[in-house]
Structure 1
């Protein structure tokens, strides 16, 4: 939908709400209007985002690990605990992701200079090239996904989502 087009007056979620309101008038179905649409948007967004990652032979977890290393700045390295704290990947999943990325030549492990029992994960030059290309395409894709909204709507949506998310992540 492009900017300036009228909003749909009836969508999939609205139809479901109407059916429930008819069948269960005793239950307030208004929350379904928000939650149902957020859920459906999430599915559409995830599909589109994963397509971009796949073009670079990355899964969501691998992308997150490479991105966390790249965001660390030179020399683009972190210990596994830091990686878990700076990604959307659980600590248990970090090892699997790093193993795969290491086999692909995108990261390397080394012994920490500060603690010989600890390992450091670092981007290789190939890893930096992959994440730079993938991140550029990822941001272009996210921009495209938001094209139906005005700058004012984007700012309002971001503010609302930030407030809502804070209730879960406080």
Structure 2
């Protein structure tokens, strides 16, 4: 073992921490979604952009900056995704009516139809997965995940370690 390598955890160490486990679950879930998305020439990143636009209300339109912030990617990263989705005819770029410097990304009719198909398949896969849990387990999981989300977003009112209040 090299000097730079971290020591393995002792045998009495607790099992994988919850956030590590959640990261693994997300990776596994993306692995299940990827083949369904690939059938439509999409990646998970593409799907997220389309899904966020779908949830943006009746206009199905957001600025590049709004999408980048929501997806936690750089503006250039969002531009690259938008370029790919525009070439596929799934989104269109539109200049803001009041400020021509602002570009909105909008789902096209084709993009709306595709994202609705993929979401329907996604929900079916999720229902099948969640069928392995009973009602109490599903409610407990939803409650705990909501609580963790609020803690990470800083809505708890109490600072967490390493965070300045």
Distance of 2:120 and 2:59 partners within structure 1: 20
* Match 1:58 to one of 36, 42, 47: 42
Select the structure with the greater relative contact order (CA < 8 A; seq sep ≥ 6): 1
The answer (yes or no) to whether the contact 2:50–2:111 under 8 Å persists in 1 is yes
> For residue 77 of structure 2, what is the aligned residue in structure 1?
93
**Which is further off, 44-53 or 150-159?**
44-53
1:1-170 residue pairs with structure 2 within 5 A? 20-21=10-11, 25=12, 29-32=13-16, 34=18, 37-87=21-71, 89-170=73-154
Q: 1:164 to 1:72 in 2, by over 3 A?
A: closer
The answer (yes or no) to whether the contact 2:90–2:110 under 8 Å persists in 1 is yes
Q: How far 1:129 sits from its partner (Å)?
A: 0.8
The answer (yes or no) to whether the contact 2:64–2:105 under 8 Å persists in 1 is yes
Q: How many residues align?
A: 146
Q: How far 1:72 sits from its partner (Å)?
A: 1.3
Root-mean-square deviation (Å): 2.2
TM-score (norm 2): 0.77
Q: Unaligned 5+ residue runs, structure 1? A: 1-18
Q: Unaligned 5+ residue runs, structure 2? A: 1-8, 155-165
